[in-house]
Amino acid sequence: MRFAVFDETKDGETRVALVPDAVKMLLKKQHAVSVQSGAGRAASIPDAQFADAGAQIAADAAGLAAVADCLLRVRPVTTGEAAGFPEGNAVIGFLAPLRNPELVSVLAARRITAFSLDAIPRISRAQSMDTLSSMATIAGYKAVLLAADALPKFLPMLTTAAGTIRPSQALILGAGVAGLQAIATARRMGAVVEAFDVRAAVKEQIQSLGATFLEIPNQENLEDKGGYAKQVSPETLAKQRLLLHERAKVADFIITTAQVPGKPAPRLITREMVADMKPGSVIVDLAAESGGNCELTQAGKTVCEHGVTIIGPTNLPARMPLDASRMFARNLANFILEITNEKGFTMDWKNEIFAATCVTHGGEITRKAP
Determine contact, residues 211/173, Cβ cutoff 8 Å: no
Determine contact, residues 2/32, Cβ cutoff 8 Å: yes
Catalytic residue among 44, 52, 99, 127: 127
Interior/surface letters 190-213, b for 16+ CB within 10 angstroms, e for the rest: ebbbbbbbbbeebeebbeebebeb
Catalytic residue among 69, 130, 252, 285: 130
Catalytic residue among 47, 228, 247, 319: 228
User: What is d(CA 255, CA 309) in angstroms, rounded to the nearest whole number?
Assistant: 12
The closest alpha carbon to 232, from 173, 282, 306, belongs to 173
Q: Look up 228 and say whether it is catalytic.
A: yes
Decide: helix, strand or coil at residue 101. Answer: helix
The closest alpha carbon to 147, from 304, 298, 282, belongs to 282
User: What is d(CA 165, CA 155) in angstroms, rounded to the nearest whole number?
Assistant: 10
Q: Look up 127 and say whether it is catalytic.
A: yes
Q: What is the CA radius of gyration of the chain?
A: 22
Q: Look up 290 and say whether it is catalytic.
A: no
Catalytic residue among 116, 133, 168, 290: 133
Q: Which residues are catalytic?
A: 122, 127, 130, 133, 228
